[in-house]
Structure 1
């Protein structure tokens, strides 16, 4: 059973293989997409009335429990990356999207598990939470949209990619305020999408040194392509197929 909706600025696709009937699936899917629409309304920095925008402007408000959790994650990865990951980099507005996306989609996956799903794939703009499986996940080539760099088998884990190919140089090194340009793309496999997404962004901001940094995180494996089109891959990367070069 499948559903696809456009929410939070990107397509989100859901496939569930083991819920007992369409009615149960529709209720679970409604909960997933309802939660993601709520996150978009509350946490988008592009909405002037969102809780995140109001917090970023310094308006007097008591942060919700969810916002406090997001702020805690932002600080965790800022400290862990030595400031390369920063939700408020020099000269820029507060933007916790690099944490919010993975955190919110992981929460959506937990809603599916609460509904009884044990075999599903939730794909949010290319970042994936996979339960059961294995599921085969392809990572896009950084230069060509019609090619892939690697395919990995994923079971009960999450995959997230940070790259320059969709939004240009949008990832900023929080230590300098300048765009991070040493890598073209970096993909992280981790136990949860909360961690995979934040680690991928932090590692991309760190540049080439981000690959060993991310690999040292518990449960994380990394596949990256640097600006010279060289592939950097951890030994434990669970590839079904991997190319030696992305050229």
Structure 2
């Protein structure tokens, strides 16, 4: 059996690079161009509403007091309500409300990717010849594979201590993978409960059904990397791994937790 074709499209948006991938026959991949463009357009529409880096966005106007939730796009209220639920579920380890008013940046990237890709990419699986579709936004992934297709997505987990090195490789057919930590952007993580920056090198990778869940829980896990993991018993995760600069890996699978020393390989 010949290897399937792979077509990719890239775009700069949400402060990072997004790439869309379609796996299948050459004709099927070529026919996916409109779906890829629609996905990017949907992401740009949401960016115009939620980007805190754009002075004209609705979230920026809301934060300046120029716009109320009642007069804003109703998706702002939906996201604010969802962020409150996530804050409660994570015990405050993730929060969109702890500084300078409402800032859902840590929630919106995963959520917007889910919304756009579910609307425009996932339907491609019904097209003859399409084996799999996926989107990568800043290193976080949402992927789908057609039933019975001989394809799985390969995802590397970066080492926060050794730049460029990988700790493990995951294979995922359907779902989402997100990583949060200091490997790429340095000490940018802050614990909302204390306002103190996470200074140690840390990485947290989460596999979940959707990228909204994977993204916010990866952030919460990275903030809480040194804590006991008992608070994760009811978390909506398939699996996760955290790594600290003390050389400790914690694997979380369902409700089981295993801790092993990190190796140099």
Which of 53, 66, 86 aligns to 2:75? It is: 66
Equivalent residues in 2 for 1:68-107, closer than 5 Å: 68-90=77-99, 92-107=100-115
Question: Quick one: higher RCO (CA 8 Å, sep 6+), 1 or 2?
Answer: 1
Cα deviation, residue 63, structure 1: 2.9
Quote the residue 1:245 is aligned against: 262
Q: Structure 1, residues 69-120: CA drift from partner, whole Å, max 9, x if none?
A: 2112210111112222111224x45321111010011112202123446611
Q: Give 3-state SS (helix, strand or coil) of 2:80's partner.
A: helix
From the superposition, tell whether residues 159 and 29 of structure 1 become closer, same or farther in structure 2 (CA, over 3 Å). Answer: same
Unaligned runs of 5+ in 2: 1-6, 146-150
Distance 1:246 1:197 in 2: 26
The answer to which of 15-24 and 121-130 deviates more is: 15-24
**CA distance in 2 between partners of 1:214 and 1:106 (Å):** 23
* Aligned residue number for residue 192 of structure 1: 210
**1:178-199 Cα distance to aligned partner (Å, 9 max, x none):** 1134661100000000100011
Determine the C-alpha separation between the residues in 2 that align with 1:23 and 1:12.
19
Larger CA Rg, structure 1 vs 2 = 2
Count of matched residue positions in the alignment of Structure 1 and Structure 2: 241
What is the TM-score with the length of structure 1 in the denominator?
0.87
TM-score (norm 2): 0.82
Kindly report the root-mean-square deviation, in angstroms, between the aligned alpha carbons of the 2 structures: 2.4
Asked if residue 51 in structure 1 is aligned to residue 64 in structure 2, the reply is no
Alpha-carbon distance between aligned partners in 1 of 2:219 and 2:237, rounded to the nearest angstrom: 17
- Match 1:30 to one of 33, 37, 60: 37
**Gapped regions of structure 1 (runs ≥ 5):** 238-242
Q: Counterparts of 2:156 and 2:174 in 1: how far apart (Å)? A: 16
Q: 1:15 aligns with which of 10, 15, 21?
A: 21
Preserved contact between residue 119 and residue 131 of structure 1 (Cα < 8 Å): yes
